[in-house]
Amino acid sequence: MADRSSPFDGIEELLDRLNRQFETAARSWDRDVESRGRFDLSMGDAATSVDLADEGDEFVAVVDVPGYEHDDIDLHLAGDQLAIEGERDQEVEESEDRFIRRERTSQSFSRRLQLPEPVDADGASATLNNGVLTITLPKLEPGDDSQSIDIE
């Protein structure tokens, strides 16, 4: 009688291959979390895109905020963390229109960026132009009040 192949012969190979793929995916997730944790403290998927550039003597953050107005956006700088939050509500007027689908009622976002170096909060500025928010954060210069530390 000829050797019959078992229907379970390929299962062990399949499980090994799946295990390797999960391990590879887990390693990439760890790298994403580690690199994200250094600069972006936001949770979940962000509704806005942020670019943070080092321009030598200042950091420049560029944020896509289409449809948001000046009054819809709050910026806070606490230590080395920049918080960018936005919330907008669409004015709902009573009308005879009958919507088949209505998705544009309100929207919000929240981003928190860990800055790589201390910045001068008093010199920070922001502009909003055509749905693009540009935040300029001058780096903090080491002051005259710095002290030398002796090494024992």
Record the tokens describing residue 124, joined without a space.
């920070």
Would 16 be classed as within a structural domain? yes
Do residues 58 and 132 both lie within one domain?
yes
The total number of structural domains that make up the chain: 2
Rounded Cα–Cα distance for residues 64 and 53 (Å): 15
Do residues 74 and 26 both lie within one domain?
no
Would 55 be classed as within a structural domain? yes
Q: In which domain, by residue range, is 22 found?
A: 12-40
Do residues 27 and 67 both lie within one domain?
no
pLDDT digits (tens, 9 = 90+) for 81-130: 899 998 887 665 555 667 777 666 677 888 888 898 888 888 899 999 99
Would 120 be classed as within a structural domain? yes
How deeply is 91 buried, as exposed, middle or buried, from its count of CB atoms within 10 A (0-12, 13-18, 19+)? exposed
Has this prediction a pTM greater than 0.75? no
Would 84 be classed as within a structural domain? yes
pLDDT digits (tens, 9 = 90+) for 8-56: 777 877 887 888 787 777 766 655 544 444 455 454 445 578 999 999 8
Would 29 be classed as within a structural domain? yes
Would 151 be classed as within a structural domain? no
Do residues 46 and 110 both lie within one domain?
yes
